[in-house]
Amino acid sequence: MKSHKHMQVFVLASLLIAVGTVIPMLMPKIIIGPMSFTLASHVAVMIAIFISPAVAIAVSLGTTLGFFMAGFPFVIVLRALTHVIWAYLGAQYAKKNPQIFEKPLKTLQFNIVIALIHALGEMIIVIPFYYGNGIDMQTFMYMIFGLVGLGTVIHSSIDFCLTLPVWKALTQSHRIQGISQVKKINLMKNA
């Protein structure tokens, strides 16, 4: 029985890696300076947060490898690699506090915290690519804090909002409930 559960987790993680790699290839993108915004590009990693820390790491690493193999620019591959950090931290917190997703205010706070960690990681990755490349300090600060920092917070938050109803639908399956650490979320309950 235990090996059957491990196989289900493995298959689900593999499917999330595939989806998380294909979405950025197919969905329309908005590219502004060092940032690219692809709607729903983080949904697979965010779903992995609800399953377990190990799946969050696997999906983050798998999608990073997928981006590399698909020929994405190196800076985007490195930005994807930072997803390991916020996905793992988010999954660890969700594992210890799965009830937070039963209250909208707690869910919103979780969303904001992982979005801030997500943005910080991507800002750190982008700095060496743009610092000292003949860009004046004002433009550099705008690119790092505005486009990458604030842009990532907004992008991450939107993708998390897209993830919630997808996860709620997935948890209707008893198989998904059986392998996940977050069994339910309630989008309609009052805070």
H or E stretch covering 191: none
Cβ–Cβ under 8 Å, residues 88 and 48? no
pLDDT of residue 131: 83
Neighbour count for residue 38 (Cβ, 10 Å)? 18
**Per-residue pLDDT tens digits for 172-186:** 998 898 899 888 777
pLDDT of residue 1: 58
Domains of the chain, start order: 2-179 (1.10.1760.20)
Mean pLDDT of 11-19: 96
Structure tokens at 60: 């983050």
Question: Partners of 31 in the beta sheet?
Answer: 36
With 0.85 as the threshold, say if the pTM is over it. yes
Cβ–Cβ under 8 Å, residues 26 and 15? no
**d(Cα 62, Cα 100) in Å, to the nearest integer?**
27
% the chain with pLDDT above 90: 68
Query: What's the whole-number average pLDDT of the chain?
Result: 91
pLDDT of 72 strictly over 90:
no
The amino acid sitting at 93 is Y
Mean pLDDT of 125-145: 88
List b or e across 161-177, with b for residues whose CB sees 16 or more CB atoms inside 10 angstroms.
eebbeebeebbeeeebe
pLDDT of 135 strictly over 90:
no
Neighbour count for residue 13 (Cβ, 10 Å)? 22
pLDDT of residue 53: 97
Question: Partners of 92 in the beta sheet?
Answer: none
Which residue, 116, 133, 117, 121, is CA-closest to 33? 133
